[in-house]
Amino acid sequence: MAHDKLTIAVLGPGGIGGLLAALLARAGHRVVCLAGDETAAALDAHGIRVRSGRFGDFTVRTQAATTLREPVDAALVTVKHTTLDTALDRLPAAALGDALVVPFLNGVEHPDVLRTRYPADRVAPAVIRAESTRVAPGVIDHGSPFAEIDLAGDTVPRDRLERLARALSEAGPTTRVLDDETAALWAKMSFLAPFALLTTRHGVPIGDIRTRYRDELTALVEETAAVSGACGGPADPAGALARYDAFPPGTKSSMQRDAEAGRPLELDAIGGALLRAAQRHGVAVPVTARLVRDLTR
Rounded Cα gap, residues 113 and 294, in angstroms: 27
Q: Residue ranges of the alpha helices (H) in 203-236?
A: 206-212, 214-231
Q: Which of 8, 9, 10, 16 is close enough to bind ligand NAP by CB under 6 A? A: 16
The number of residues that bind ligand NAP (CB under 6 A) is: 30
Say whether residue 80 binds ligand NAP (CB under 6 A). Answer: yes
Q: Which of 7, 63, 83, 182 is close enough to bind ligand NAP by CB under 6 A? A: 83
Q: In this chain, which residue has its C-beta nearest to ligand NAP?
A: 14
Nearer to ligand NAP, 90 or 163 (CB): 90
Rounded Cα gap, residues 2 and 18, in angstroms: 24
Rounded Cα gap, residues 29 and 74, in angstroms: 11
Rounded Cα gap, residues 119 and 121, in angstroms: 6
Residue 116 C-beta: closest distance to ligand NAP, Å:
18
Single out the residue of 126, 117, 111 nearest to residue 161, CA to CA: 126
CB 113 within 8 A of CB 195: no
Pairing of strands 148-151, 126-129: antiparallel
Residue 164 C-beta: closest distance to ligand NAP, Å:
17
Nearer to ligand NAP, 80 or 201 (CB): 80
Looking at residues 23 to 62 of the shown chain, list those that interact with ligand NAP (rule: CB under 6 A). Answer: 34-36, 39
Q: Which of 76, 91, 105, 278 is close enough to bind ligand NAP by CB under 6 A? A: 105
Q: Give, rounded to a whole angstrom, the gap between the first and last alpha carbons of the chain.
A: 52
Say whether residue 200 binds ligand NAP (CB under 6 A). Answer: no
CB 186 within 8 A of CB 228: yes
Nearer to ligand NAP, 109 or 219 (CB): 109
Looking at residues 240 to 269 of the shown chain, list those that interact with ligand NAP (rule: CB under 6 A). Answer: 254, 266
Q: Where are the beta strands (DSSP E) in 55-188?
A: 58-60, 63-65, 74-77, 100-103, 126-129, 132-136, 139-142, 148-151, 174-177
Residue 134 C-beta: closest distance to ligand NAP, Å:
4
DSSP state of 72: -
Per-residue x/- mask for ligand NAP, residues 122 to 161, rule CB under 6 A?
------x-xxx-x--x------------------------
Say whether residue 90 binds ligand NAP (CB under 6 A). Answer: yes
| CA dihedral angle for residue 206, residue 207, residue 208, residue 214, rounded to 10 degrees | 80
Residue 235 C-beta: closest distance to ligand NAP, Å:
22
Q: Which of 8, 9, 10, 12 is close enough to bind ligand NAP by CB under 6 A? A: 12
Nearer to ligand NAP, 158 or 263 (CB): 263
Residues engaged in binding ligand NAP (CB under 6 A): 11-17, 34-36, 39, 78-81, 83, 86-87, 90, 104-106, 128, 130-132, 134, 137, 254, 266
